């Protein structure tokens, strides 16, 4: 079976390197070493960074360049994603993610809630400080969508009569929120 490869776009590859550095800086920006240790470990575990790619590629396609604001926005979206995963792991009782023990498995429910909250707050603060009030508002709205999607999932967890539409609504809110905000912020950063 033939395989295809996606050509590397130098501007995108460079921007993703900058996003990764910014994620790490934001995740370890607490005045408390314990918070930095917890959130830094989570973000260092990596991931595909699909939300960043969507945002950066969209911004590049719309404006022909990737600005510092687009890089910061991408880092903020990824930090929101990481914070939501900390909360998701707690709710699911997960003990491992990406080969790393979860915050709740390692340090308990209390630290997991607080570290997840720290990551969500840092992302919003960075967007407000370095991108725009519009970006911060859109990120906050994405968090609200994530929460609503999670609530729907929890309420319907053992409902044998859950409709496909209900399941899709939960996914659209929970999973779709960060992709939607990535697209919106791509356009915003592109001008």
pLDDT at 166 over 90: no
Task: Give a yes or no: residue 86 inside a domain.
Answer: yes
Task: Give a yes or no: residue 74 inside a domain.
Answer: yes
Task: Give a yes or no: residue 149 inside a domain.
Answer: yes
pLDDT of residue 183: 98
> Does pTM top 0.95 for this prediction?
no
pLDDT band at 163 (very low <50, low <70, confident <90, very high): confident
- Which is more confidently placed, 174 or 139? 139
Report the domain count for the chain. 1
Q: What is the pLDDT of residues 55-108, one digit of tens each?
A: 999 999 999 999 999 999 999 999 999 999 999 999 999 999 888 899 999 999
- Reading the block at residue 144, the tokens are 């609200």
The Cα–Cα gap between 184 and 13 comes to 21
pLDDT band at 19 (very low <50, low <70, confident <90, very high): very high
Q: What is the CATH number of the domain that holds 23?
A: 1.10.600.10
pLDDT of residue 155: 87
Task: Give a yes or no: residue 1 inside a domain.
Answer: no
Which residues does 69 contact at the CB level (< 8 Å), separation at least 6? 130, 131, 132, 135, 189
Quote the mean pLDDT of the chain: 93
Q: What is the pLDDT of residues 34-67, one digit of tens each?
A: 999 999 999 998 889 999 999 999 999 999 999 9
Task: Give a yes or no: residue 2 inside a domain.
Answer: no
pLDDT band at 8 (very low <50, low <70, confident <90, very high): confident
Residue 87: give the domain boundaries.
10-190
pLDDT of residue 167: 85
Task: Give a yes or no: residue 96 inside a domain.
Answer: yes
pLDDT of residue 29: 97
Using the structure block, give the residue that is written with the tokens 């550095």: 21
pLDDT of residue 156: 84
Task: Give a yes or no: residue 61 inside a domain.
Answer: yes
pLDDT at 23 over 70: yes
Least confident of 15-19, 55-59, 137-141, 166-170: 166-170
Task: Give a yes or no: residue 5 inside a domain.
Answer: no
Q: In angstroms, what CA-CA distances link 104 with 52, 56, 126?
A: 26, 32, 25
């Amino acid at each position: 079976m033939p395989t295809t490869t996606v050509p590397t776009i130098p501007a995108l590859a460079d921007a993703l390197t900058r996003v990764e550095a910014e994620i790490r800086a934001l995740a370890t920006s607490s005045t408390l070493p314990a918070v930095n240790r917890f959130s830094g470990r989570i973000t260092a575990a990596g991931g595909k960074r699909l939300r960043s790619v969507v945002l950066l590629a969209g911004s590049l396609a719309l404006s022909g360049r990737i600005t510092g604001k687009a890089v910061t926005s991408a880092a903020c979206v990824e930090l929101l994603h990481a914070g939501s995963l900390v909360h998701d792991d707690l709710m699911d009782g997960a003990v491992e993610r990406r080969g790393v023990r979860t915050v709740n498995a390692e340090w308990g429910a209390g630290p997991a809630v607080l570290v997840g909250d720290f990551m969500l707050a840092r992302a919003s603060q960075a967007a407000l400080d370095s991108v725009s009030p519009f970006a911060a508002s859109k990120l906050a709205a994405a968090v609200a969508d994530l929460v609503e999607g999670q609530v729907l999932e929890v309420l319907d967890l053992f409902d044998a009569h859950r409709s496909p539409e209900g399941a899709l609504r939960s996914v659209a809110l929970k999973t779709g929120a960060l992709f939607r905000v990535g697209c919106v912020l791509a356009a915003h950063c592109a001008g």
